């Protein structure tokens, strides 16, 4: 790879990282940034402004409904949106939150090292990290001692190349190592060239700006 190509790639990655940082300032990204999943099935729509109650959803069905969707083998993006919505609901009832996390953890621990195992570890890891971002201080949080990011990285190692998992890991890694985050972002961007829905998510609007707009702006700044 020549120096110009390396420079362009570095600029693009830096621009996306800037947007990820903006996500963090705008609110918990795993909760406040909906994932575009097209027409795929997930949990019913929720409004995270519901601080009390569950917006009409019967919480006793949450674990069953979430597992039914995850076990239907949807894409990683669908898993991300499903677990985001599940977390918004689960916060309303500590017992439900614990039950869902416990079931997903047991499911992963009892899985093999194949594709199902990778997805199972991703699910419990991503859920643990959404809990950490959404459960307030002083609230019961069954994921408090869990390394969700570590489990997502384990999922990536088991599954192999998966740009959507890299996208998820990049969002989680906002508060972690810049080197790790950079690596996840770069792999997600490369993979998005063959994944239109991932590309759409990378270009989605959050906090009044799109990733695509930021990329254009940063590239223009660097070329001056």
Half-sphere exposure of 58 (CA within 13 A, CB side): 4
Residue 119 has pLDDT above 80, yes or no: yes
For 140-182, write each residue's pLDDT tens digit: 999 999 999 999 999 999 999 899 999 999 889 877 777 788 8
Higher pLDDT, 53 or 64: 64
Q: What is the DSSP letter of 176?
A: S
Higher pLDDT, 136 or 200: 200
Query: In this structure, what token pair is assigned to residue 159?
Result: 């599954």
Backbone phi and psi for residue 2, each to the nearest 5 degrees, phi listed first: -80, 170
The most confident of 55-69, 119-133, 178-192, 199-213, by mean pLDDT: 119-133
Task: Look over the chain and give the mean of its residue pLDDT values, rounded to a whole number.
Answer: 82
Q: How many residues does the chain have?
A: 224
Give the separation between CA 197 and CA 48, rounded to whole angstroms: 24
Contact 112, 128 (CB under 8 A): no
Contact 126, 83 (CB under 8 A): yes
Asked whether the whole model's pTM tops 0.85, one would answer no
DSSP 72-106: T---HHHHHHHHHHHHHHHTT-HHHHHHHHHHHHH
Contact 87, 74 (CB under 8 A): no
Give the separation between CA 106 and CA 88, rounded to whole angstroms: 21
> Of the candidates 19, 143, 13, 150, which has an alpha carbon nearest to the alpha carbon of residue 90?
143
For 61-103, write each residue's pLDDT tens digit: 999 999 999 999 999 999 999 999 999 999 999 999 999 999 9
């Amino acid at each position: 790879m020549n120096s110009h190509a390396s420079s362009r790639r570095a600029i693009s990655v830096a621009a996306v990282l800037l947007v990820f940082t903006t996500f963090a300032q705008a609110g918990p990204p795993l909760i406040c940034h909906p994932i575009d999943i097209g027409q795929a099935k997930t949990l019913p729509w929720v409004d995270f402004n519901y601080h009390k109650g569950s917006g009409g959803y019967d919480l006793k069905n949450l674990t069953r409904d979430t597992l039914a969707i995850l076990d239907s083998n949807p894409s990683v993006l669908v898993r991300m949106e499903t677990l985001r919505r599940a977390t918004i609901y689960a916060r309303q009832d500590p017992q439900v939150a614990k039950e869902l996390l416990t079931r997903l953890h047991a499911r992963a621990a009892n899985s093999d090292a194949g594709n199902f195992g990778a997805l199972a570890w991703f699910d419990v890891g991503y859920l643990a990290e959404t809990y950490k971002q959404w459960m307030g201080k002083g609230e019961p949080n069954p994921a408090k001692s869990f390394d969700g990011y570590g489990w997502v990285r384990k999922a990536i190692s088991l599954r192999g190349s998966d740009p959507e998992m890299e996208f998820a890991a990049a969002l989680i890694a906002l508060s972690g190592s810049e080197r790790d985050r950079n690596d996840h972002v770069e792999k997600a961007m490369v993979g998005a060239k063959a994944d239109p829905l991932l590309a759409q998510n990378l270009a989605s609007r959050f906090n009044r700006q799109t990733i695509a707009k930021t990329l254009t702006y940063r590239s223009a700044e660097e070329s001056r």
